[in-house]
């Protein structure tokens, strides 16, 4: 039978593992959100670029619909799109870094993940 110290150690390992998993899931969710926004920007840019620059268009800013011209909106969308791509790159780096950290922790503590049968 396991001693109280062994039980405590096992509980600590489970908690740490769960924290790693939760962090990775949160980062993955953010990556998905940013990828979706990036795709939306791409589609809007593809739609607007062939149109004349003086044509009016509407843009939602903090829940307020504003009237602009395509000429005004396209550079802003490109800047936002570039920012989203950089954010995405950073999130992917964070994810990989945290995943590597978790793998090292698992090896160091000899942790093996066991899936419960459903």
Q: What is the pLDDT of residues 46-61, one digit of tens each?
A: 999 999 999 999 988 8
CA distance 10 to 18: 12
The whole-model pTM stands at 0.82
Query: Does 13-100 carry CATH code 2.102.10.10?
Result: no
pLDDT tens profile 4-20: 888 888 889 889 999 99
Could you tell me the residue ranges of all domains in the chain? 13-100
CA distance 106 to 102: 6
Q: Tell me, what DSSP letter sits at residue 116?
A: P
């Amino acid at each position: 039978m396991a001693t109280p110290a062994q039980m405590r150690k096992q509980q600590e390992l489970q908690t740490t593992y769960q924290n790693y998993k939760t962090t990775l899931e949160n980062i993955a969710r953010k990556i998905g959100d940013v990828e979706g926004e990036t795709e939306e920007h791409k589609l809007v840019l593809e739609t607007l670029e062939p149109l004349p620059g003086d044509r009016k268009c509407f843009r939602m800013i903090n829940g307020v619909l504003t009237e602009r011209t395509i000429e005004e909106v396209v550079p802003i969308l490109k800047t936002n799109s570039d920012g989203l791509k950089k954010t995405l790159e950073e999130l992917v780096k964070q994810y990989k870094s945290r995943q590597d950290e978790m793998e090292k922790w698992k090896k160091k503590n000899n942790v093996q993940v066991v899936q419960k049968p459903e």
